Amino acid sequence: MNHKNSMAVENTSESSVKGRQKPDWLKVRLPTSKVYGEVRKLITDYELHTVCESAACPNRGECWSRSTATFMILGNICTRSCGFCNVITGKPTELDLDEPRRVAEAVEILKLKYAVITSVNRDELKDGGASVWAETIRCVRERNPETKIEVLIPDFCSNWDALQVVIDARPDVLNHNTETVPRLYLPVRPQGNFDRSLELLKISKEKGMVTKSGIMLGLGETKEEVIEVLKAWREVNVDLVTLGQYMQPTERHLPVARWVTPAEFDEYRDIGMEMGFTNVFSGPLVRSSYHADEQAQDVVSASC
Protein backbone atom coordinates (compact mmCIF):
# COMPACT_ATOMS: atom_id res chain seq x y z
CA MET A 1 0.00 0.00 0.00
CA ASN A 2 2.32 2.68 1.19
CA HIS A 3 5.23 2.34 -1.20
CA LYS A 4 7.05 5.55 -0.58
CA ASN A 5 10.08 6.27 -2.67
CA SER A 6 13.09 5.32 -0.62
CA MET A 7 15.75 6.84 -2.87
CA ALA A 8 18.19 8.81 -0.77
CA VAL A 9 18.40 12.53 -1.41
CA GLU A 10 21.88 13.83 -1.94
CA ASN A 11 22.89 15.98 0.99
CA THR A 12 24.34 19.13 -0.46
CA SER A 13 24.28 21.10 2.78
CA GLU A 14 27.23 21.66 5.03
CA SER A 15 25.42 20.92 8.27
CA SER A 16 23.91 17.46 7.77
CA VAL A 17 21.60 15.95 10.38
CA LYS A 18 23.43 13.82 12.92
CA GLY A 19 21.09 11.33 14.52
CA ARG A 20 17.41 12.01 14.82
CA GLN A 21 17.50 14.66 17.51
CA LYS A 22 15.32 17.59 16.58
CA PRO A 23 16.58 21.04 17.45
CA ASP A 24 14.71 22.91 20.18
CA TRP A 25 12.97 25.19 17.73
CA LEU A 26 11.03 22.21 16.33
CA LYS A 27 9.71 20.93 19.65
CA VAL A 28 5.95 21.46 19.89
CA ARG A 29 3.30 21.30 22.58
CA LEU A 30 1.34 18.09 22.98
CA PRO A 31 -2.29 18.43 21.98
CA THR A 32 -4.35 18.38 25.16
CA SER A 33 -7.02 21.08 25.01
CA LYS A 34 -10.76 20.40 25.19
CA VAL A 35 -11.28 22.01 21.79
CA TYR A 36 -8.69 19.66 20.29
CA GLY A 37 -10.77 16.69 21.46
CA GLU A 38 -13.95 18.23 20.08
CA VAL A 39 -12.40 18.80 16.65
CA ARG A 40 -11.13 15.23 16.58
CA LYS A 41 -14.58 13.89 17.49
CA LEU A 42 -16.28 15.98 14.82
CA ILE A 43 -13.90 14.73 12.15
CA THR A 44 -14.48 11.13 13.22
CA ASP A 45 -18.26 11.51 13.47
CA TYR A 46 -18.47 13.11 10.04
CA GLU A 47 -16.13 10.52 8.51
CA LEU A 48 -13.87 13.24 7.22
CA HIS A 49 -10.13 13.31 6.69
CA THR A 50 -7.68 16.04 7.57
CA VAL A 51 -4.22 16.52 6.22
CA CYS A 52 -3.31 17.47 9.79
CA GLU A 53 -3.62 13.80 10.77
CA SER A 54 -2.79 12.13 7.47
CA ALA A 55 0.44 14.08 7.16
CA ALA A 56 1.19 13.87 10.91
CA CYS A 57 1.50 17.65 10.99
CA PRO A 58 3.44 18.94 14.02
CA ASN A 59 1.08 21.91 14.37
CA ARG A 60 -2.18 20.05 14.74
CA GLY A 61 -2.29 20.57 18.49
CA GLU A 62 -2.09 24.30 18.04
CA CYS A 63 -4.35 24.48 14.98
CA TRP A 64 -7.10 22.23 16.33
CA SER A 65 -7.02 24.09 19.64
CA ARG A 66 -7.81 27.20 17.59
CA SER A 67 -10.70 25.24 15.95
CA THR A 68 -8.99 25.17 12.58
CA ALA A 69 -8.30 22.10 10.51
CA THR A 70 -7.35 21.43 6.90
CA PHE A 71 -9.91 19.10 5.37
CA MET A 72 -8.65 16.53 2.91
CA ILE A 73 -11.26 15.56 0.35
CA LEU A 74 -11.55 12.80 -2.28
CA GLY A 75 -10.72 10.12 0.29
CA ASN A 76 -7.50 9.32 2.08
CA ILE A 77 -5.75 7.13 -0.48
CA CYS A 78 -3.56 8.88 -3.04
CA THR A 79 -2.56 7.68 -6.51
CA ARG A 80 0.86 9.27 -6.12
CA SER A 81 3.83 8.36 -3.96
CA CYS A 82 5.68 11.48 -2.91
CA GLY A 83 8.75 10.57 -0.89
CA PHE A 84 7.98 12.97 1.95
CA CYS A 85 4.26 12.35 2.38
CA ASN A 86 2.54 10.21 4.97
CA VAL A 87 -0.72 9.80 3.05
CA ILE A 88 -1.32 6.20 1.95
CA THR A 89 -0.51 5.44 -1.70
CA GLY A 90 -2.79 2.99 -3.49
CA LYS A 91 -5.88 2.48 -5.57
CA PRO A 92 -8.56 4.81 -4.22
CA THR A 93 -12.05 3.61 -3.45
CA GLU A 94 -15.21 4.99 -5.05
CA LEU A 95 -15.99 8.67 -4.91
CA ASP A 96 -17.88 9.78 -1.82
CA LEU A 97 -20.39 12.20 -3.32
CA ASP A 98 -21.79 13.15 0.07
CA GLU A 99 -18.39 14.40 1.27
CA PRO A 100 -18.93 18.03 0.12
CA ARG A 101 -22.05 18.33 2.31
CA ARG A 102 -20.25 16.92 5.35
CA VAL A 103 -17.27 19.25 4.87
CA ALA A 104 -19.67 22.21 4.66
CA GLU A 105 -21.43 21.14 7.87
CA ALA A 106 -18.13 20.68 9.69
CA VAL A 107 -17.04 24.18 8.64
CA GLU A 108 -20.32 25.49 10.03
CA ILE A 109 -20.04 23.60 13.33
CA LEU A 110 -16.44 24.76 13.81
CA LYS A 111 -17.58 28.31 12.94
CA LEU A 112 -14.61 28.70 10.61
CA LYS A 113 -14.09 32.15 9.16
CA TYR A 114 -11.38 30.71 6.95
CA ALA A 115 -11.54 27.14 5.67
CA VAL A 116 -8.61 25.34 4.08
CA ILE A 117 -9.36 22.35 1.89
CA THR A 118 -6.91 20.02 0.17
CA SER A 119 -7.16 16.61 -1.48
CA VAL A 120 -5.26 13.52 -2.39
CA ASN A 121 -4.38 13.08 -6.06
CA ARG A 122 -7.00 11.13 -8.00
CA ASP A 123 -5.11 10.63 -11.25
CA GLU A 124 -7.35 7.68 -12.17
CA LEU A 125 -10.34 10.02 -12.60
CA LYS A 126 -10.83 11.77 -15.94
CA ASP A 127 -11.18 15.17 -14.28
CA GLY A 128 -8.81 14.40 -11.40
CA GLY A 129 -11.68 15.02 -8.98
CA ALA A 130 -12.26 18.63 -10.13
CA SER A 131 -16.06 18.27 -10.08
CA VAL A 132 -15.95 17.18 -6.42
CA TRP A 133 -13.62 20.08 -5.69
CA ALA A 134 -16.10 22.51 -7.22
CA GLU A 135 -19.04 20.93 -5.43
CA THR A 136 -17.20 21.14 -2.10
CA ILE A 137 -16.45 24.84 -2.60
CA ARG A 138 -20.09 25.49 -3.54
CA CYS A 139 -21.45 23.57 -0.54
CA VAL A 140 -19.11 25.27 1.94
CA ARG A 141 -19.99 28.69 0.52
CA GLU A 142 -23.72 28.06 0.47
CA ARG A 143 -23.77 27.03 4.11
CA ASN A 144 -21.12 29.52 5.25
CA PRO A 145 -21.41 32.61 3.05
CA GLU A 146 -19.00 34.64 5.20
CA THR A 147 -16.27 32.00 5.27
CA LYS A 148 -13.22 32.52 3.07
CA ILE A 149 -12.07 29.39 1.28
CA GLU A 150 -8.49 28.44 0.48
CA VAL A 151 -7.93 25.40 -1.72
CA LEU A 152 -4.67 23.47 -1.92
CA ILE A 153 -5.10 21.64 -5.20
CA PRO A 154 -3.25 18.94 -7.18
CA ASP A 155 -1.81 19.55 -10.66
CA PHE A 156 -4.59 17.64 -12.46
CA CYS A 157 -1.91 16.12 -14.73
CA SER A 158 -1.96 19.32 -16.82
CA ASN A 159 -5.70 18.97 -17.49
CA TRP A 160 -6.36 22.71 -17.52
CA ASP A 161 -10.07 22.17 -18.22
CA ALA A 162 -10.23 20.45 -14.84
CA LEU A 163 -8.38 23.37 -13.28
CA GLN A 164 -10.92 25.72 -14.83
CA VAL A 165 -13.74 23.83 -13.08
CA VAL A 166 -12.10 24.65 -9.73
CA ILE A 167 -11.41 28.26 -10.74
CA ASP A 168 -15.04 28.69 -11.80
CA ALA A 169 -16.11 27.80 -8.24
CA ARG A 170 -14.13 30.93 -7.19
CA PRO A 171 -12.15 29.92 -4.10
CA ASP A 172 -10.68 32.96 -2.31
CA VAL A 173 -7.11 31.61 -2.45
CA LEU A 174 -5.75 28.99 -4.83
CA ASN A 175 -2.72 27.20 -3.43
CA HIS A 176 -0.57 24.68 -5.25
CA ASN A 177 2.72 23.65 -3.69
CA THR A 178 5.76 23.05 -5.83
CA GLU A 179 7.06 21.25 -2.69
CA THR A 180 10.79 21.32 -3.51
CA VAL A 181 13.40 22.59 -5.95
CA PRO A 182 13.37 21.14 -9.51
CA ARG A 183 16.54 19.02 -9.02
CA LEU A 184 14.93 17.00 -6.22
CA TYR A 185 11.67 16.14 -7.96
CA LEU A 186 12.55 12.51 -8.65
CA PRO A 187 12.89 11.42 -5.03
CA VAL A 188 10.53 14.00 -3.54
CA ARG A 189 7.67 14.27 -6.03
CA PRO A 190 8.26 11.59 -8.69
CA GLN A 191 4.95 11.99 -10.52
CA GLY A 192 5.09 15.77 -10.37
CA ASN A 193 6.74 18.25 -12.68
CA PHE A 194 8.05 21.63 -11.59
CA ASP A 195 7.22 23.39 -14.86
CA ARG A 196 3.72 21.95 -14.86
CA SER A 197 3.14 23.29 -11.36
CA LEU A 198 4.41 26.71 -12.41
CA GLU A 199 2.08 26.63 -15.40
CA LEU A 200 -0.85 25.87 -13.10
CA LEU A 201 0.04 28.86 -10.92
CA LYS A 202 0.47 31.08 -13.98
CA ILE A 203 -2.90 30.14 -15.48
CA SER A 204 -4.66 30.53 -12.15
CA LYS A 205 -3.22 34.02 -11.70
CA GLU A 206 -4.20 35.00 -15.23
CA LYS A 207 -7.74 33.91 -14.41
CA GLY A 208 -7.84 36.30 -11.47
CA MET A 209 -7.05 33.99 -8.58
CA VAL A 210 -5.07 34.95 -5.50
CA THR A 211 -2.29 32.36 -5.75
CA LYS A 212 -0.05 30.71 -3.19
CA SER A 213 2.74 28.14 -3.24
CA GLY A 214 5.29 26.60 -0.93
CA ILE A 215 8.30 24.36 -0.56
CA MET A 216 9.84 22.33 2.23
CA LEU A 217 13.46 22.94 3.16
CA GLY A 218 15.95 20.46 4.56
CA LEU A 219 15.64 17.90 1.76
CA GLY A 220 19.06 18.61 0.28
CA GLU A 221 18.38 21.79 -1.67
CA THR A 222 20.96 24.57 -1.79
CA LYS A 223 20.34 28.18 -0.87
CA GLU A 224 20.77 29.22 -4.50
CA GLU A 225 18.12 26.71 -5.55
CA VAL A 226 15.65 28.09 -2.99
CA ILE A 227 16.19 31.60 -4.34
CA GLU A 228 15.68 30.29 -7.89
CA VAL A 229 12.29 28.87 -6.84
CA LEU A 230 11.33 32.21 -5.28
CA LYS A 231 12.24 33.91 -8.56
CA ALA A 232 10.25 31.37 -10.60
CA TRP A 233 7.16 31.97 -8.43
CA ARG A 234 7.59 35.72 -8.80
CA GLU A 235 7.71 35.41 -12.57
CA VAL A 236 4.23 33.87 -12.55
CA ASN A 237 3.02 36.46 -10.02
CA VAL A 238 2.39 34.17 -7.06
CA ASP A 239 1.00 36.25 -4.18
CA LEU A 240 1.64 34.21 -1.05
CA VAL A 241 4.53 31.93 -0.19
CA THR A 242 5.30 29.39 2.54
CA LEU A 243 8.64 27.83 3.43
CA GLY A 244 8.95 25.29 6.24
CA GLN A 245 11.25 22.57 7.56
CA TYR A 246 10.75 19.04 6.17
CA MET A 247 10.32 16.45 8.91
CA GLN A 248 10.56 12.76 8.12
CA PRO A 249 7.20 11.23 9.12
CA THR A 250 8.44 7.59 9.34
CA GLU A 251 11.55 5.51 8.64
CA ARG A 252 10.19 4.72 5.17
CA HIS A 253 10.22 8.34 4.10
CA LEU A 254 13.02 10.51 2.78
CA PRO A 255 15.58 11.41 5.43
CA VAL A 256 16.05 14.97 6.64
CA ALA A 257 19.24 16.32 5.07
CA ARG A 258 19.56 19.17 7.54
CA TRP A 259 17.74 21.33 10.04
CA VAL A 260 17.46 24.79 8.55
CA THR A 261 17.96 27.43 11.23
CA PRO A 262 15.34 30.07 12.10
CA ALA A 263 17.87 32.71 10.98
CA GLU A 264 18.09 31.17 7.50
CA PHE A 265 14.28 31.04 7.28
CA ASP A 266 14.22 34.74 8.18
CA GLU A 267 16.69 35.41 5.42
CA TYR A 268 14.43 33.75 2.84
CA ARG A 269 11.47 35.72 4.17
CA ASP A 270 13.39 38.98 3.70
CA ILE A 271 14.57 37.99 0.21
CA GLY A 272 11.00 37.03 -0.76
CA MET A 273 9.45 40.22 0.59
CA GLU A 274 12.13 42.19 -1.24
CA MET A 275 11.13 40.41 -4.46
CA GLY A 276 7.58 41.69 -4.04
CA PHE A 277 5.44 38.82 -2.74
CA THR A 278 2.42 40.02 -0.78
CA ASN A 279 3.35 37.77 2.11
CA VAL A 280 6.10 35.24 2.84
CA PHE A 281 5.63 32.86 5.76
CA SER A 282 9.03 31.32 6.37
CA GLY A 283 9.93 29.39 9.51
CA PRO A 284 10.74 25.89 10.77
CA LEU A 285 7.14 25.03 11.68
CA VAL A 286 5.45 26.78 8.78
CA ARG A 287 3.22 24.50 6.71
CA SER A 288 1.14 25.51 3.72
CA SER A 289 -2.03 25.90 5.79
CA TYR A 290 -0.41 27.17 8.98
CA HIS A 291 -2.13 30.40 10.03
CA ALA A 292 -3.43 30.60 6.47
CA ASP A 293 -6.12 33.07 7.53
CA GLU A 294 -3.54 35.55 8.83
CA GLN A 295 -1.32 35.17 5.80
CA ALA A 296 -4.14 35.85 3.36
CA GLN A 297 -6.01 38.55 5.27
CA ASP A 298 -4.83 41.58 3.27
CA VAL A 299 -5.03 40.04 -0.14
CA VAL A 300 -8.33 38.22 0.43
CA SER A 301 -10.24 41.15 1.91
CA ALA A 302 -8.90 43.35 -0.90
CA SER A 303 -10.06 40.94 -3.58
CA CYS A 304 -13.58 40.28 -2.32
Q: Decide whether 81 or 131 has the Cβ nearer to ligand SF4.
A: 81
Q: Closest separation between CB of residue 43 and ligand SF4, Å?
A: 17
3-class state of residue 188 by DSSP: helix
Q: How far is CA 191 from CA 186, 188, 264, in A?
A: 8, 9, 29
Dist. CA 15–CA 208, nearest whole Å:
42
Q: Decide whether 191 or 297 has the Cβ nearer to ligand SF4.
A: 191
Q: Closest separation between CB of residue 81 and ligand SF4, Å?
A: 6
Q: What is the residue-wise DSSP string for 257-298?
A: -----HHHHHHHHHHHHHHT-SEEEESTT--TTTTHHHHHHH
Q: Closest separation between CB of residue 80 and ligand SF4, Å?
A: 4
Q: Closest separation between CB of residue 242 and ligand SF4, Å?
A: 14
Q: How many CB atoms within 10 Å of residue 302?
A: 9
Binders of ligand SF4 in range 105-124 (CB under 6 A): 120-121
Q: Closest separation between CB of residue 87 and ligand SF4, Å?
A: 4
Of 225, 233, 214, residue with least CA distance to 282: 214
Stretch 61-100: interaction string toward ligand SF4, x if CB under 6 A: -----------------x-xxx--x-x-------------
Q: Closest separation between CB of residue 73 and ligand SF4, Å?
A: 11
# of chain residues touching ligand SF4 (CB under 6 A): 8
Q: Decide whether 87 or 140 has the Cβ nearer to ligand SF4.
A: 87
Q: What is the residue-wise DSSP string for 112-163?
A: -SEEEEEE---TTSTTTTHHHHHHHHHHHHHH-TT-EEEEE---GGG-HHHH
Is the Cβ–Cβ distance between 259 and 218 less than 8 Å? yes
Q: Does 151 bind ligand SF4 (CB under 6 A)?
A: no
Dist. CA 145–CA 190, nearest whole Å:
38
Q: Decide whether 170 or 183 has the Cβ nearer to ligand SF4.
A: 183
Q: Decide whether 49 or 141 has the Cβ nearer to ligand SF4.
A: 49
Report the Cα 129 to chain-centroid distance in Å.
17
Q: Under the rule (CB under 6 A), what is the footprint of ligand SF4?
A: 78, 80-82, 85, 87, 120-121
